[in-house]
Structure formats: structure tokens, C-alpha cells
Amino acid sequence: MSPENTFHYALSSNNAWAGYKAHQNPHFFPKLAGGQAPEILWIGCSDSRCPETTILGMQPGDVFVHRNIANIVSPTDINTTAVIEYAVAHLKVKHIVLCGHSACGGAAGALSDGRIGGVLDTWLLPLKTVRYNHAEELDAITDEKERVIRIAQLNVEAGIKVLMNNPTIREAIAERGLEVHGVFFDIGCGRIKELGCGTAHKSSSTISGDHVVRGKHGQLVFGQDGEAEIAAAQ
């Protein structure tokens, strides 16, 4: 399919989707147009294989989103900081999810000794720092794919530390119980697992039963073992 045909197919698919959603629920789009009240801020990678709303089994309006190359969270990045400020201080989200993923090109680039070129070399510096801070562990991993997975996980842990020291987030945690989660998406099987960092790490000893994140049309259920399942909203 040519690029032009791909674009026109996307427009046609959108028309069909909009028609189906409106037929299924005539109030769906008018309600969306009336405002948003997402409970989740998702910070993820721009990778086309990691569409947050799709992999969470949720709907438009359920997830506020910020994505960039390799889901890097830098305290000096005003773009990320602005999204956090709006989501936490104004939308009052209940959860912040930082998600890394397998087969991440940015993670692979950070493991390379060569230059990628352009602004990407500058952007990946925090991930390069993660590499050097964990050089012994990473160098001991002989399988290249596993090494990429591990640095991607370490990148999430580093990003969680930045989030947990953000003043807006710290205030929301103390004042209204905002939760921060570090997770990892396995593209090969489509599943997300928690990495045990963030507020969940601090309170894991006191959590009992399943942890539920509800959207408007479904809910994501985290079990004690970190596994998550999609269920219909109650």
C-alpha cells in the first residue's frame, strides 16, 4: 500500500469508526466534547507498537498521554513537565504510569557506541547515563535482546526517581494519594507487568487484594503478583 493510499485508508477507517461509535452509543462523542476527566497519566514511548489506550483496553477520554523517544523523563524537559503539571494539578489524575517496552530502538541506540545523528544523540544522553551507571550488570548480559530489555527497565526505574522528586507529584501523593507506577510492556506477548518502583514499591507491604484502575468503559485489574487483566466496568 502506497503512503497516499495508507493515509486515505486511515481517513476511511476513521469515518467508519466514528459512525460505529455513534451508532453504538449516541452520547459518546457529545460526552467527550463536554470535557475530560482521565484518571491515568501515561508516559510512554513514541513507538508505533505501543498505543496506550489500545493495549490498556480503554477508550478515548480515559488516559491522558505523553510520549517521546524511549519514554525518557528528564527534569529539564519542559514538555514532559508541562504535561505532568496539567495532568496532576488540573486534571487531578489518580495514577501516573511510566511505561517502557521490549525491542525499544532508543534503548538499543543507547547501548551502541556509535552516534545516531542529529538531536537524537542529545536526547538519549539520560539513557546513556543509565547505561554507564549499570555498565557491569549490562555488560554481563550476553544476549543482545535481553540487554535491550534490561536497560529499558532500568530507564523506567530512573524515570520513576525523577517523577517521585517532582514537587507537583510529591504534593499530590501527600495530599490526595496519587499513585506512581513503573511498568514494562512486552511487545511479543502484549502484556504489561509492574516493575515494583514508584508508590507501589513504598506501599507494597500494606497492599491486600487486587488493585483496580477504572476507566469509563473498562477496568484494569492488577493482582498481587503484578499481573493485570481487563474486565468490564462495574
| Residues 133, 207 within the same domain | yes
| Residues 50, 3 within the same domain | no
Q: Which CATH number fits the domain that encloses residue 108? A: 3.40.1050.10
pTM, 2 dp: 0.85
User: Could you give the number of structural domains in the chain?
Assistant: 2
What sign has the CA pseudo-torsion 100, 125, 74, 162? positive
- Assign 68 a pLDDT band (cuts: 50, 70, 90): very high
- Assign 26 a pLDDT band (cuts: 50, 70, 90): very high
Q: How far is CA 178 from CA 20, 163, 175, in A?
A: 35, 12, 8
| Residues 91, 14 within the same domain | no
| Residues 16, 54 within the same domain | no
Binding site: which residues?
A: 45, 47, 101, 104
pLDDT at residue 153 greater than cutoff 80: yes
pLDDT by residue (tens digit) across 70-89? 999 999 999 999 999 999 99
pLDDT at residue 210 greater than cutoff 80: no
| Residues 15, 79 within the same domain | no
Question: Which residues are annotated as catalytic?
Answer: 45, 47, 49, 101, 104
pLDDT by residue (tens digit) across 106-126? 999 999 999 999 999 999 999
| Residues 113, 11 within the same domain | no
Q: How far is CA 135 from CA 102, 138, 151, 220, in A?
A: 19, 5, 10, 35
Domain region containing 17: 1-34
What sign has the CA pseudo-torsion 39, 158, 68, 187? negative
| Residues 152, 54 within the same domain | yes
Residue 233 is predicted with a pLDDT of: 47
| Residues 59, 166 within the same domain | yes
Task: Give the number of other Cβ atoms within 10 Å of residue 111's Cβ.
Answer: 16
Residue 209 is predicted with a pLDDT of: 40
| Residues 8, 42 within the same domain | no
Q: What is the DSSP string of 41-71?
A: EEEEE--TT--HHHHTT--TTSEEEEEEGGG
| Residues 28, 41 within the same domain | no
| Residues 89, 204 within the same domain | yes
| Residues 29, 96 within the same domain | no
pLDDT at residue 228 greater than cutoff 90: no
